[in-house]
């Protein structure tokens, strides 16, 4: 069985029961004019992980692991967007408003789409989610159960918001989770680093962490 030399200790996993979960690699978070930019962030900080994410997805497909892309987006009526979420930040151009990438964080708009390098391929699962955690108000748990998935390799953006929320939700549901450290990024590098430490502290209280090279090495 492939075993990743991870923190805080080795992470063995069966590819047939493992999914790569790629969190919210959307134009709204990575490109100027999207939701991340509206929040006042330097969105250029997220782009450097894209090549590693491409390699992780290619490895997953080559080794028979499930691939799940999550997408933070709301329906056109914003029926699944709590007013509290829409109001947060008091943005002049916020969720549902027309912006340079279409209506901000609305499904089907250009900004809600994935960055071109990471478009879903046939056989991948695409999961729209209204919250930060991918288990909240979605069928993710049922999808993983149906496919016999017990282990998750998690990447995407941003590390301390949707990635961390999802990893914590998954850990509480009994999934063994590894954060792929160079396939995740934050607008705040210090938050990314802190999350990695939080996940693996206390004997892996939330899970494991390792860079992509260690996952590739596990298959070598």
- Where on the chain is the footprint of ligand TIU (CB under 6 A)? 24, 29, 36, 39, 72, 132, 157-158, 161-162, 187
**Which is closer to ligand TIU, CB of 30 or CB of 215?**
30
139 vs 172: CA distance, rounded Å? 16
**Which is closer to ligand TIU, CB of 4 or CB of 154?**
154
46 vs 30: CA distance, rounded Å? 6
Roughly how many angstroms between the first and final C-alpha of the chain, as a whole number? Answer: 12
Partners of 69 in the β-ladder: 22, 126
Please provide the size of the chain in residues. 220
Q: Closest approach of Cβ 156 to ligand TIU, in Å?
A: 7
**Which is closer to ligand TIU, CB of 151 or CB of 192?**
192
Q: Residue 114: CB partners within 8 Å, gap ≥ 6? A: 25, 26, 27, 69, 71, 120
Q: Compute CA 148 distance to the chain's CA centroid, rounded to the nearest angstrom.
A: 20
**Which is closer to ligand TIU, CB of 158 or CB of 181?**
158
168 vs 151: CA distance, rounded Å? 13
Q: Closest approach of Cβ 76 to ligand TIU, in Å?
A: 19
**Which is closer to ligand TIU, CB of 15 or CB of 130?**
130
Q: Closest approach of Cβ 147 to ligand TIU, in Å?
A: 23
Give the residue numbers marked as catalytic.
24, 129, 162
Positive or negative, the CA dihedral 26, 28, 33, 37 is negative
35 vs 95: CA distance, rounded Å? 7
Q: Closest approach of Cβ 187 to ligand TIU, in Å?
A: 6
Q: Closest approach of Cβ 205 to ligand TIU, in Å?
A: 21
Partners of 21 in the β-ladder: 68, 154
Using DSSP, state whether 76 is helix, strand or coil. coil
């Amino acid at each position: 069985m492939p075993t990743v030399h991870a923190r805080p200790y080795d992470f063995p996993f069966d590819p047939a029961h493992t999914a790569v979960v790629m969190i919210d690699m959307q134009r709204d978070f990575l490109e100027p004019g999207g939701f991340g930019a509206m929040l006042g962030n330097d969105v250029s900080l997220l782009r450097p992980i894209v090549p590693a994410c491409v390699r992780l997805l290619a490895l997953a497909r080559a080794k028979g692991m499930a691939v799940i892309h999550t997408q933070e987006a709301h329906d056109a009526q914003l029926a699944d967007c709590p007013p509290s979420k829409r109001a947060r930040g008091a943005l002049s151009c916020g969720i549902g408003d027309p912006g340079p990438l279409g209506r901000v964080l609305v499904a089907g708009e250009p900004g809600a789409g994935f960055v071109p390098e990471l478009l879903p391929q046939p056989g991948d699962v695409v999961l729209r989610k209204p919250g930060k955690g991918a288990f909240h108000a979605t069928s993710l748990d049922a999808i993983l159960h149906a496919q016999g998935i017990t282990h998750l390799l998690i990447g995407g953006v941003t590390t301390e918001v949707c990635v961390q929320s999802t990893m914590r939700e998954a850990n509480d549901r009994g999934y063994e989770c590894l954060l792929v450290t160079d396939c995740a990024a934050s607008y705040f590098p210090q938050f990314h680093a802190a999350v990695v430490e939080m996940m693996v502290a206390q004997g892996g209280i939330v899970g494991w962490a390792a860079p992509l090279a260690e996952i590739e090495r596990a298959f070598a």
